Structures are given as structure tokens and as C-alpha cells.
Amino acid sequence: MGDAGAVQVPIIDPSIFIERFARKLDIAGHSQRKVQNTAMRLIQFMHRDWIVTGRRPNGLCGAALLVAAAYHGHSCSAKDIADVVRMGEQTLRLRLQELQETPLA
């Protein structure tokens, strides 16, 4: 069988969801903007390291937001983030593990 029936699905940029997910977290004001900006930069690094290929955008956003929130001193749990991005905690932990295996870590 050839590629005649193959459908090309475009890769969705996860960064378009960061702001929406960040607003759902319990982070207020200027600090929320800092978390969003850091999460956006993490998504850019994920693009560079090819982590985004073959993964759902919400999982990547969840990992980026969890790292960004911790970096800025906010205590968001993996469960809190998983609930916001509507995915399982185990998947979120897997994305974090993948992120740790990149040069960014």
C-alpha cells in the first residue's frame, strides 16, 4: 500500500494554549505573566529539541507551566496542572522526564 490514503496532520504549536491554561491556575497579576513568559520560552526550547513532535500540545503546556511556576516560586502540584490541561499526572511526569533528558536541563 502506498501513501495515497495518508493524511498529513499539521503540528499544532503548544504556545497558543499557554495563556489560557495559565489563567486557570491560581497565580495572580504580574506573576502570572512571568510564568507565562517562562513557559513560552520552555516551549521554544522544546521545539528546538524536537520534543513537540508526536506529542499533544496540552501535555507540553502542562510540563512547561509546572516548571515555570516552580521557577517563579509558586506551589502548583502536578495534579493541579494536570487538571487544568486535562491530562493524566503520569503523562505530565513523562513529559517532565523527557524535558530533563534535553540539553535545556
Answer whether residue 105 is part of any domain: no
12-39: pLDDT as tens digits: 788 888 999 999 988 888 889 999 999 9
Query: What was the pLDDT predicted at 81?
Result: 94
Looking at the domain assignment, is residue 43 inside a domain?
yes
Q: Count how many domains the chain has.
A: 1
pTM: 0.82
Residues 6 or more apart whose Cβ sits within 8 Å of residue 84: 21, 24, 25, 62, 65
User: What pLDDT, on a 0 to 100 scale, did the predictor assign at position 85?
Assistant: 93
Percent of the chain with pLDDT over 70: 91
Q: Is residue 49 part of a domain?
A: yes
Integer angstrom CA distances of residue 5 from 2, 9, 12, 53, 54: 8, 13, 22, 21, 20
Whether 3 is in a domain gets the answer no
CATH at residue 84: 1.10.472.10
Predicted local confidence at residue 86, as pLDDT: 94
Residue 74 has pLDDT above 60, yes or no: yes
